[in-house]
């Protein structure tokens, strides 16, 4: 992590040791802390990363300025060749690129990173984050000073930044609206969006978006096979870059296409005699998967089948014992300063990282962005063909994609027309069709409806393009807007800090992402087959049952068993929280307690009740615990 405390003009330099206070949950020490005439620069990280040279100190650039770098650079050899230098660590490599290209440097550097640069005069600051995914940057300022850091806790460590929860952020998050990307969880603390550069001076500031996923160049080839060949070549390049300088990789492995594609692509890049270690979350003993359900809950058989195909893959099942959403939740509050979007799906991820650390693994691979890149479903294509007047193709594809006895007209209505309707019209259409639409406030969203109205959460979501009904999106722009969203970089930073293992997601490799969003829609959807690009890429690389699977894998599928074990404790917590007027104003705590207390302890057949217990309840409690933690910490500030 990186941090800057700068005082404008000729004010005295801040104390040099404020950022170096140890966290209560991860052992940090300074890679370096240096002072200039008006600023303190710090690079902070776990012992393992500092020892491995993956937490670089502040550097002096060719113009005499000071640079901090947090993250990693892809395609290092190519960048070194362009700069005609010998490859070094990523911070020095970025500094050399900055010396050559100046403010345009981020157009030439691919990777996942955040940077802070201060020119030698010390009266302006440049902040930058890479596109797609990046280490976070939070900043706060007043008339006399600016504080920037990877985590809010480092801002608060200076003693000059007030700690107060942003109520609007709390309200928006309860309805899963994270679209206001510059808003943090704290009043008067802002976030730098991904793919952006911000210059800050004492009285002025401006932000420039240098990467726009909505405006990527088209990619066109003569044949379908060429798209597959190009996609596989880019995936291979992504793995080569991701595994650069690592010898003992691990992977968070599921039964789906994305992580299995990453694992298969990693095979040629393993060190001689080394194996990739895959860790897979599995349900608790006694959990029964429903073979007739449109999802599958136990991914282990598909993982075992992949391991049988590749000698270089070793796999391990992770059971996570009796943990659930509260496991290490306080660590996330402290290290990231956020409420995680899916708290109920993090316990097993902690165990995966913990096992990898204990096994001496030196990098964690994931495939978290696959659904938005090479394995996108292509369902937006129907709307695209409709808007472009490609009627013959549209109706041929609608006929091919019909479900059961569905007519072509019904397919047109559900895939093209209905998703574009206003909410009220869509809800009416659902009722006419005999389907009972689920009210977010009565299912997955724990917000108090009265407070939702006062905070205008529905209107804000609509203005920002967040569909709280989660309908199928008929426009590709919706997929592109979701890349890098949901504060993914903050959560990843927590795991890196806790377990001392860097992370790499080859599916966010920028050349691969740019390619995937530049090719024609029929590469993803054709003759009724969705995820068509991934399914063709993976022929012979993953088990055929995985490649052709149309069901969706469900993680943390045994949530009802975990909730049942904590039921009495959580009911008591809800009762205590409901006595707090401010908490009860924000969330429907009494309603959640009533649902929990009347639950029979089995997997609910009613989807609304299931969502209420599986999603709304842990979301409400995580939010309440976050608010309490921040209020308590504010009283401890000296």
Digit-coded pLDDT (tens) for 476-517: 888 888 776 668 899 999 999 999 999 999 999 999 999 999
What is the torsional sign of CA 478, 133, 277, 88? positive
Distance between CA atoms of residues 346 and 352, nearest Å: 10
* pLDDT at residue 400, rounded to an integer: 92
| Beta-bridge mates of residue 295 | 552
Q: What pLDDT, in 10s, does the model give residues 598-628?
A: 999 999 989 899 999 999 999 999 999 999 9
Question: Residue 471 in 3-state DSSP?
Answer: coil
Residue 353 confidence (pLDDT) above 90: yes
pLDDT, mean over the chain: 92
* Residues whose CB falls within 8 Å of the CB of residue 411, separated by 6 or more in sequence, listed in order: 398, 399, 401, 402, 403
Banded pLDDT at 10 (limits 50, 70, 90): confident
State the Cα–Cα distance between residues 544 and 54, nearest whole angstrom. 39
With cut-offs at 50, 70 and 90, classify the pLDDT of residue 142: very high
CA gap 562, 555 in Å, rounded: 13
Predicted confidence at residue 434, as pLDDT, reads 76
Measured between alpha carbons, how far is 230 from 207 in angstroms, rounded to an integer? 34
Mean pLDDT, range 413-430, rounded to an integer: 87
The angle at the Cα of 275, spanning 274 to 280, to the nearest 5 degrees, equals: 155
Radius of gyration of the chain (CA): 25
The candidate with the shortest Cα–Cα distance to 244, out of 34, 509, 495, 610, is 509
Is a pLDDT exceeding 90 seen at residue 424? no
Q: Which residue has the higher pLDDT, 106 or 435?
A: 106
Alpha carbon dihedral 155, 158, 164, 166, in 10-degree steps, equals -20
CA-CA distance, 269 to 262, in Å (whole number)?
Answer: 11
Domains, the chain, ranges and CATH? 2-209 (3.60.20.10), 224-375+483-553 (3.40.50.620), 381-476 (no CATH)
What's the distance, Cα to Cα, between the start and end of the chain in Å?
24
Does residue 358 sit in helix, strand or coil?
helix
pLDDT of 26 > 60? The answer is no
> Does position 594 have pLDDT exceeding 90, yes or no?
yes
Give residues with Cβ within 8 angstroms of 106, minimum separation 6.
Answer: 128, 130, 197, 210, 211
pTM of the model: 0.95
- Outline where 70-223 has alpha helix (H): 76-83, 90-101, 152-157, 167-174
Q: How confident is the model at residue 292 (pLDDT cuts 50, 70, 90)?
A: low
> What is the rounded distance in angstroms from the CA atom of residue 164 to the CA atom of residue 335?
16
Q: Tens of pLDDT along 179-231?
A: 999 999 999 999 999 999 999 999 999 999 999 888 899 999 999 999 999 99
Give whole-number Cα distances, 544 to 302, 343, 526, 530, in Å: 10, 33, 19, 16
Instruction: Answer for the pair 290, 327: CB distance below 8 angstroms, yes or no.
Output: no
- ∠ at Cα 443 (441, 445), nearest 5°? 50
Assess whether pLDDT exceeds 90 at residue 364. yes
> At 291, is the pLDDT very low, low, confident or very high (cuts 50, 70, 90)?
low
User: In terms of Cα–Cα distance, which of 45, 51, 37 is closest to 8?
Assistant: 37
Report residue 281's pLDDT band, with 50, 70 and 90 as the boundaries. Answer: very high
Instruction: Report the alpha-carbon angle 10-13-18, nearest 5.
Output: 155
| pLDDT tens-place string over residues 532-543 | 999 999 999 999
Distance between alpha carbon 73 and the CA centroid of its chain, in Å?
19
pLDDT score, position 29: 54
In 20-154 the beta strands, taken as DSSP E runs, fall at: 28-35, 39-46, 59-60, 66-73, 111-118, 124-129, 138-141, 145-149
Sheet holding 28-35, edge to edge: 28-35, 39-46, 2-7, 145-149, 138-141, 190-191
Mean pLDDT of 95-119: 96
């Amino acid at each position: 992590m990186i941090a800057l405390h700068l005082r404008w003009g000729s004010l005295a330099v801040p104390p040099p040791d404020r950022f170096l206070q140890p966290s209560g949950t991860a052992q940090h020490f300074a890679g370096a802390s240096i002072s200039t005439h008006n600023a303190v620069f710090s690079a902070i990280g776990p012992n393992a990363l500092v020892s491995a040279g993956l937490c670089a100190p502040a550097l002096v650039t060719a113009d005499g300025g000071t640079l901090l770098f947090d993250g990693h650079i892809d395609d290092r050899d190519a960048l070194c060749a362009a700069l005609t230098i010998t490859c070094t660590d990523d911070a020095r490599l970025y500094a050399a690129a900055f010396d050559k290209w100046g403010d345009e440097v981020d157009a030439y550097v691919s990777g996942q990173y955040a940077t802070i640069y201060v020119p030698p005069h010390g009266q302006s600051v440049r902040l930058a984050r890479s596109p797609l995914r990046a280490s976070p940057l939070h900043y706060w300022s007043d008339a006399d000073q600016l504080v920037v850091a990877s985590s809010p806790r480092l801002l608060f460590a200076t003693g000059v930044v007030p700690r107060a929860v942003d109520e609007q952020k709390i309200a928006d998050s309860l309805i899963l609206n994270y679209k206001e990307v510059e808003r943090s969880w704290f009043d008067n603390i802002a976030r730098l969006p991904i793919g952006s550069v911000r210059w800050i001076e004492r009285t002025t500031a401006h932000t420039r978006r240098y990467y726009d996923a909505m405006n990527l160049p088209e990619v066109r080839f003569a044949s379908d096979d060429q798209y597959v060949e190009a996609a596989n070549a880019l995936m291979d390049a992504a793995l080569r870059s991701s595994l650069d300088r690592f010898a003992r990789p691990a992977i968070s492995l599921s039964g789906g296409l994305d992580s299995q594609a990453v694992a298969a692509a990693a095979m040629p890049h393993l060190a001689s005699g080394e194996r990739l270690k895959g860790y897979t979350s599995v349900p608790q003993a006694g959990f029964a998967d429903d073979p007739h359900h449109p999802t599958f809950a136990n991914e282990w058989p598909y993982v075992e089948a992949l391991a049988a195909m590749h000698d270089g893959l070793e796999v391990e099942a992770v059971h996570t014992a009796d943990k659930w959403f509260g496991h290490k939740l306080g660590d996330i509050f402290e290290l990231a300063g956020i409420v995680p979007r899916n708290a109920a799906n993090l316990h097993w991820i902690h165990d995966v990282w913990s096992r990898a650390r204990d096994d001496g693994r030196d990098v964690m691979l994931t495939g978290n962005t696959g659904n938005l890149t090479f394995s996108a479903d292509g369902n937006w294509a129907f709307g695209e063909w409709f808007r472009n007047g490609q009627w013959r193709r549209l109706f041929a594809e609608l006929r091919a994609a019909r479900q059961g006895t569905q007519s072509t007209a019904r397919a047109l209505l559900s895939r093209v027309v209905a998703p574009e309707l206003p909410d009220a019209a869509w809800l009416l259409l659902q009722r006419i069709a005999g389907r009972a639409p689920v009210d977010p406030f009565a299912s997955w969203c724990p917000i108090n409806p009265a407070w939702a109205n006062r905070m205008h959460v529905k209107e804000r979501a609509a203005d920002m393009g967040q569909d709280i009904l989660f309908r199928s999106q008929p426009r590709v722009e919706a997929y592109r807007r979701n890349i890098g969203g949901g504060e993914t970089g903050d959560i990843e930073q927590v795991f890196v800090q806790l377990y001392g293992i860097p992370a790499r997601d080859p599916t966010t490799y920028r050349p691969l992402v740019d390619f995937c969003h530049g090719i024609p829609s029929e590469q993803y959807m054709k003759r009724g087959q969705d995820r068509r690009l991934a399914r063709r890429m993976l022929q012979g690389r993953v088990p055929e049952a995985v490649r052709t699977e149309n069901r969706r894998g469900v993680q943390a599928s045994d949530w009802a068993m975990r909730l049942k074990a904590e039921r009495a404790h959580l009911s008591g917590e809800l009762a205590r929280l409901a006595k707090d007027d401010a908490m009860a104003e924000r969330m429907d705590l009494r309603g959640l307690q009533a649902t929990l207390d009347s639950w029979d302890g089995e997997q609910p057949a009613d989807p609304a009740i299931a969502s209420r217990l599986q999603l709304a309840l842990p979301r409400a409690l995580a939010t309440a615990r976050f608010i309490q933690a921040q209020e308590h910490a504010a009283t401890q500030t000296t």
